[in-house]
Structure 1
Amino acid sequence: MTDRPDASTPARLTPGLPGRLVLSRMGTRAAMIAERFWPLVLPLVLVAGLFVSLSWFGLVASLSDWPRVAVMSAFALAALVALWPLRFFRLPSTAEVDRRIEAANGLAHSPLRTLTDRPSGTQTAFSEALWREHQKRMAGRLGNLDAALPVSRVPDRDPWGLRAVVALLLFVSYAFSLGPMGGSLSDGFRPTAVREALAARIDAWVTPPAYTGKAPMFLNADANRAVSLFTVPAGSTVSLRVTGGSGSETLSFIPADGKETPIEPASPAAGDGNGNVGPAADGVRQFAGTLGQDGELVLRSGRSEVARWTFAVTPDTPPTIRFAGEPKRAANGTLELQYEIEDDYGAASAAVEFRQAAPPAAGARPLYDEPEMALNLPRRGSKANAAKTSKNLTEHVWAGLPVTLTLAATDDAGQTGRSETVTMTMPERTFTNPLALAVIEQRRLLGLDANAKQRVLDLMDAVTLRPEDTFDSPTAYLGLMSARSRLRLASGDDQLRDVVSYLWHVALGIENGSLSDAEQRLRQAQQALQDALQNGASDEEISRLMQELRQAMNDFLREFAQRNQNQNNARAPQNGQELRQSDLDRMMDQIENLARSGNSEQAQELLSQLQEMMNNLQMAQPGQQGQGQQGDEFSQQMNKLGEIMRRQQEMMNETFRMDQMQRGDNGRMGDDQQEGLDGNQNQRGQSGQQGQGGMTPEELADALRQLQEGQDQLQKDLQQLGKDLEGMGMQPNEGLGQADKSMGQAGESLGEGEGDRAVGHQGRALEALRQGARDMMQQLQAMQGEDGQQGQGRRQQSADRDPLGRPRGTQGPDFGNSVKVPDEIDVQRAREILDAIRKRLGEAMSPEVERSYLERLLELK
């Protein structure tokens, strides 16, 4: 027989057979290809699986460049060797496929081959018919023809089952690669520097300027990862640190105009000498820059962008300063200024710029520059922007001359704002002695023009020509002659300035003797204490300066009293408020306590008020008469109202301490606060006992009950006062009614043991009492017809106040409006905040950035 394929033969023999035969052959062919190809490609698969497992385990990433190249070369060679068996691969032929189908289906006598074969030799009709009959019978046996399945011979080639080990490693390494220490397939193809750059740690933060008081902002913190825009103050410092990496990281700032500006690293990268940048010498690269405008900060590693942050910079506006009132001269000649300062974060300094209203004479050689006067600043962080400063400039040679004043405030960013310019006559000391006036005039001539030396000598000769008619004492004559001798021998400006200073002391000695020395010591002590408060002096320095201030004030008050006694003017009005030593001592104790507790701003404010009181005291005229019987009766009632206000204030402080003890604070107070309260202990009446540490619950309950009784008694006294005022023809006002209601609510809260609510009601009662007192004063002015004499009343305002600047007894008590002394609650809260900050600073685990921020809070002025 001959093999003569005839595709139409199966179709003629059995319908549907060709389709089944094609499918069977295709499946069998694929199976044969697979079973021939798989054993040949298995070595390559094992090599690839081993490489992938090592990469996922991170072993390749841990190698340096040369070992990594060696390992990759070994795997490449192994892969080439594993490809060598593939040269023996052959595709199966059609006959091989048919024999595989026949063997798979158990067909004997080669039926598939019979369908395509033809008999050899010469064919007759009978032989042809016989052959077709044979083919038909063979085709009938192919009715259920199936494709052969692949049979792998891998176990013959891998009897130890090493392929299973590689598969297990591949599975485990894949799970390991999902962790933080896992590697990737690309580790073997990247240099070590690139791999380190991608795994570098980045820390970025923004530090606002210290004067803003704002905390640093961490850009890559978890809470800020979703923030698309960071708002920071102008002048903030952005810091970025890259730990590890390749050293090719660059940081640049892209402002709103799009012009990119690179930020140079603080530590240079190490190179190989050929211009190739390598890792930083210490493995850390730091960048720092200042943000002055809106823009974006971009971190790149090579050409790839690693991170980007967008900033909106809040500009720091210049401070504004303006006069809150006309500059005025105090009773003792001190210049007093009231002004308002506004700035984003508080001004750093403020001063007065003086200029002479009239230009100096041509060719004049002044010995002194313009006066210097630093201004007190409002407390940073407070809503109040008003401040007040007073300074004695009467000793300056410009005193008595027309000058222009301009207030200038400077913030921490160096920006300066100026106020409008005001023209006034510079305050000067009032001299009543004609000889003292002549000495002051000569002193001014010499201080304004050193060329007037000879003229001043001539004037001195004229004054001393007839000493028996001009001088009342030999001391004054000898002092002026000594000044003349110094002036005649002076050769330089420094010696002339010494003469000018000496003439001032001569004039003071002529005017009022040693009292000026005591006043000068008092002013020097006040100025020294104010400088110490501004510079943050230690507690020991504050205590020493307070002792000097107390001594200087005692000496001044002693000499002031002696002078008034000599002038037969020591008698005060019968109903006026008296200047008591205990008042001044209590005020100075408050100043020292505030300074020790760190509240230097309030201490400076209180010291300024003390200076104002002393200014008013020096020129006080205590010999004024009362305003009649009706005024005396009204004064008595208003003094009672002032006593009720004082008792309410003390009761509120006591309630606050009791509430702190009830909350577990045991009523602990600093010795300074306690000492300041002991002076009023004998005046508390029914306001309750002073809290002591270690009280039992029963003692606390008894103390609260006493406070309730005292509050009820205070309410009754207020009601009786209202009735007495109505009997005098005064109309009840809303303030006293609200105070009565709040007192009742405070008593109920004390009865229920709710100290916190009671303090709130007592505070509202105290404010209502002050409002009621102001309303009563307005009613009195209306009854006395003062509306038509308003202008005259303003001119006599200083005469209606006592030596401390408070309203006189004839006009009612001080309602707490003119002098604001921090009460015990404010001091206690300030101390608690400071203790919490110091406690946090003492923790060893506090971050360095947080410690720096807390230290700035303690130093904030």
Structure 2
Amino acid sequence: MTSYTPNDMRRGLAKLRWPLRLTWAGMLAEALVTSLWPLLTVTLLVLAALMLGLQDQVMLEVVWAGAVLALVAGLAALVYALRHFRIPSRAAALTRLDHSLHGRPIQAMMDSAAIGNGDDASMAVWRAHKARMMARAALARPVPADLRVARRDPYALRFVAVLAFVMALVFGSVWRVASVAEMVPGGTGLVSGPVWEGWAEPPRYTGKPTLYLNDLAEGALSLPEGTLITLRFYGDVGALTLAETVSGRTGEVPAASDPQQDFTVVQAGAIEIAGPSGRVWDVTTLPDTPPQVRLTGVPVAAALGEMRLPFAAQDDYGVEAGEARIMLDLAAVDRRYGLTVDPDMRPEILVPLPTPISGDRAAFEENLIEDFSKHPWANLPVQISLKVLDSAEQQGVTEPSAMVLPGRRFFDPTAAAVIEMRRDLMWSKSNASRMVQVLRAVSYQPQDLFRSETTSLRLRQIISRLEIQARFGLEDTAQDALAEDMWALAIELEEGVLADALERMRRAQDRLNEAIKNGASKEEIAELMDEMRRATEEYLKQLQNQQANQEQDGQQQPQGETMQMTQDDLQRMMDHIQELMEQGRMAEAEQALKELQEMMENMRVTQGQQGQGGNNPGEQAMEGLSETLREQQGLSDQAFRDLQEQFNPGASAGESAGNEGRNGGQGQGESHEGQNGEGQGQDGEGQDGQSGQPQAGEGPDEQGLAERQQALRDELNRQQGNLPGGGTPEGDAARDALDDAGRAMDQAEQALRNRDLAEAIDNQAQAMDALREGIRSLGEAMDKEAQGRQPGQGTAESDRRSGNRDPLGRERGKNDSASSNVPGDGPFRQGPDGADTARRLLDEIRRRSAETARPEVERDYLNRLLDRF
């Protein structure tokens, strides 16, 4: 059993030397804070008042009353400190340290046995107990001091005193404290002569601090233009006088000896305070230059009429506001048809210019985005002038620039005619009679002009109302109502209210074809191309549903000249058309669009490989996993763009190199052009027709990135439940890879919810790699299953038809080559230039397959195409 001696106790207490000293120091600090806080509070308040110069702003009697009050408060605080301050003893520190330990081992070390001193066994137990207490006491740590005095200061007066003292340090002066001595009866205040104080306060918008002139030495002094100078003279009137040439004041100017002097610096000059302790400053003004604004580019108009006008503004202290003034350029108007009469008087268009919501407004670039499609001056020559204003009410104006006020373009001839008549109506009320005649002539044979009788009746009603109003005088309210009805009619004629997806797709193709012929801008073509993509996707969805219904009813597919393509093939063809238009090869783009239109008329969409009709579960699983991979790629692209915008918020959407998913690009991810951008991916539906994934084009307002990632994870779980190839090594490898992809998706979702975009992108990349591995393993399992399948199991006819078509679904010729070389045997072989078209398509496939930035799945598909050719 362990022995314990008095020497051991002394050694144990020696180990507690520093914890005991530090605990005693903390107790001393507690005693000082708890007893001296009233005295410190009074002292800081008095110093703050003196440093801020309050004694110079009030009457002398108030200063004396304040001094008496401060003295009484100081004496009371001193008495409080003397009554409550006690120096802590070593025993108290030892007791506090002992209380911080479990079982109070220090007290146990110093205790002695009350009974059993003659019993060796009892003493052995006692010594063992004290040895354990000594070991426990050796673990003692200093007890932190409790400096909280909130219970003694419930109104937090100490914090008020500290805040007042800090403000005095920032805005006051230590030298002002000495001025209170001059106010003591019998002091030297009046004997030493007069004194003065002065402040220079720059305009608030400059952001510059107020200067205390007493702290400034004589010499050069630079002040912003508009600085307010305030001077106060104390003592005998006339002992101090002011002479200045910076205000430019004329007329009634206060006397130079006036005790209060206030004036504004508007020019360079001198300020002189003549008399005892006087000073002279040579003032130079920092001019406030007027703001500047300029156009940085030409206005860009979208197909739907939205105008984007880039401009830049700058000012030395910041632009306060701005506006754009648009005036009709009557001299440049082509005065024909309904524009030959004098126009009705209309006010100028005033549009506020956008300015940065936060940040520096000294120099910035913005875009004025407005839609003037409904304005009477739309598509007419105008003069535009920009004006900006700074905080000093100074203006910066640009010279009027000539431009055509952008408006919506209508490609349908009937809609364009209605819009032209609407323009004539808004141009002048006197055009009403002429408009009735023109509209009646246009709608003479409505069955050849309108797609529905409802549209024809709407136009007929507009004509009747217009005729009545023209006969009895057209009022302003009636003019606006007719213009609104004609606008709605033109929109219906242009876009239609058709429920049939095929007709909507045809109309979108016709509008795009008309835009190519009319030389529309790239922005308009890109917008119309997106519209055609959406209409085509709606048509393909309807076609898939129709085909599924026919298969459920046991109906046979129609025989004849049909075309089998996947949506990816169709998407690539539309990408090729858009690339041709962006390169300015309009003739080739028009021909390719014509071929696409003819192909869509006879096309039958397959959900799996060509000829199988989507009945094979393995093909359905492959298609679903490929769709999940595309959706995951789009989601990763969106997260990467958000990460870019965090570090580069000034970057314009859609202009970053290599940024996929923009309008007109590959279409992965979201569009930055708006919240309703379309993606390249499928409609997000599973093979059963139920939507299991969010569409790639859904905006952040509809579903957050984390929710979209969770939905994608749920869809992968559903697909894993229907995965074929169970029991084979390849099928098990595919399931393991998809499990890894699911775990990576869960981690990506958690990172997105934590707003850790970098971590989310890494996890999404791991998920995509695992998905690719799963697709590859599943393909190997399906290949082995196909090799072991015997003839006569319902696949011979499908294999025969599939083997007779190339990867784009085209029938092969007799020599087993792509039949695109045979004139007149398919959409790509109509006319003498069919071979050139096929050669260009092959070159395009080679070019895309060589681009390493493309997804691996797409490059594998392109390489398979090259192998087949």
Same-fold call, TM cutoff 0.5: no
Q: From the CA coordinates, give the structure whose radius of gyration is larger.
A: 1
With the shorter chain as reference, the TM-score category is 0.3 to 0.5
Structure-1-length-normalised TM-score: 0.37
Structure-2-length-normalised TM-score: 0.37
Specify which structure has the bigger relative contact order, considering alpha-carbon pairs within 8 angstroms and separated by 6 or more residues. 1
